[in-house]
Amino acid sequence: MGLKSKDLLDIQGLEKDEINLILDTAESFKEVTSRDIKKVPTLRGKTVFNLFFEPSTRTRTSFELAAKRLSADVINFSVSTSSVVKGETLLDTARNIEAMRSDFIVIRHSASGAPHMLARQLKSSVINAGDGSHEHPTQALLDMFTIREKKGMIEGLKIAIIGDIIHSRVARSNIHGLTKLGAEVRIVGPPALIPMDIEALGVSVFYNMEDALSGADVIMVLRLQLERQGKNFFPSLREYAGLYSLTSDKAGYAKEDVMIMHPGPMNRGVEISPEVADGLSSVILEQVTNGIAVRMAALYLLSGVG
């Protein structure tokens, strides 16, 4: 089997089998990335455009490396949102890129749904590299890959996601993916950072860390956007950190073999303490490594080459 859509827009639209297919495929690509010569000719002659409307180093580089290791040509089309304000619409920008015979457009955009709009209008495969507060499907895929790799399976695991859920595309993608694969997902944070009716997505909501983390197999810490300060989501970083920062004390509520994850970039001392981030339970850097294999898998499967 392959993927049903030409695009990878969100995890919500993927079936369980499709998620597993991507994860399985990523396993073989991970083997490729650990070779001495980390390159296969699979996507030779294909062109990948990275279209990033928001600053990103990690994700853009990861996509670039993934494409290069598959021998595709990669163009980084760096656009600031200001150039859009100057007049050209996103759709026109994308149509121009397609006129250069793109095969893939990898897009990150601050507006939720921007990749979906492009996907409807373009023949190229559109990959969502993060849209607003909506989804970040490849991040969730690499998170699921990492969990599966470490824990053997995802079904039945208790997974807690901490922090700014309402603004987090990482949280939404993981919630969809992890629940599809049978995990028990808990989210925890102050009420203003928990979006309305999120229980409908099959998660349980906690405001208290001890309740949320007790017995957890995996803890995902989200980045707290520092610009949320002063908007009354919470009174101060100090109080936020006191309540929700993942310290070793709080991590102690979870299972002994708990695995700590963070999508990066981290605010050390805000949402996560340095000793936890760098501790033995942390897989934060492995997440980054796995990101390349997962993105190779996504590009490969969408290309239909197989």
Partner 1 sequence: MNILIKNGHIIDPSNNLDRTADLLIEDGRIAQIGQNLSVTPDTEIIDATGQLVVPGLIDMHTHLREPGYEYKETIRTGTLAAAAGGFTTICCMPNTKPVNDSQAVTEFILHKAASEGIVNVHPIGAITKGCNGIEITEMGDLKKAGCIAVSDDGKPVMNSLVMRRALEYAKMFNLPVISHCEDTSLSEDGVMNEGRVSTELGLRGIPNASEDIMVARDIALAELTGGHIHIAHVSTKGAVELIRRAKEKGIHVTAETCPHYLLLTDEAVTGYNTNAKMKPPLRQGGDVEAVRKGLQDGTIDVIATDHAPHAQEEKEREFDYAPFGIVGLETALSLILRLVEEGILTLKDVVLKMSANPARVLGIERGNLSIGVHADITIINPHTTWVVEAANLKSKGKNTPFEGWKMRGRVSAAIVGGRIVFRV
Q: Which is nearer to partner 1, 41 or 87 (CB)?
A: 87
Closest approach of Cβ 171 to partner 1, in Å?
10
Distance CA 80, CA 103 (A): 22
Number of residues in contact with partner 1 under rule CB under 8 A:
25
Span from 130-138, 139-147, 148-156, 266-274 in contact with partner 1 (CB under 8 A): 130-138
Closest approach of Cβ 100 to partner 1, in Å?
21
Distance CA 72, CA 263 (A): 26
Using CB under 8 A as the binding rule, the residues of this chain from 275 to 304 that contact partner 1 are none
For partner 1, which residue of 14, 23, 43, 114 counts as binding (CB under 8 A)?
Answer: 114
Using CB under 8 A as the binding rule, the residues of this chain from 187 to 226 that contact partner 1 are 195-198, 200-201
Encode burial over 228-241: b for 16+ CB neighbours within 10 A, e otherwise: beeeebbeebeebb
Q: Would you say 209 and 167 are in contact if contact means Cβ atoms under 8 Å apart?
A: no
Encode burial over 172-194: b for 16+ CB neighbours within 10 A, e otherwise: bbbbbbbbbbebbbbbbbbeebb
Distance CA 268, CA 241 (A): 10
Q: Which is nearer to partner 1, 112 or 204 (CB)?
A: 112
For partner 1, which residue of 28, 57, 83, 89 counts as binding (CB under 8 A)?
Answer: 89
Joined tokens for residue 286: 């492995």
Span from 16-24, 114-122, 185-193, 277-285 in contact with partner 1 (CB under 8 A): 114-122
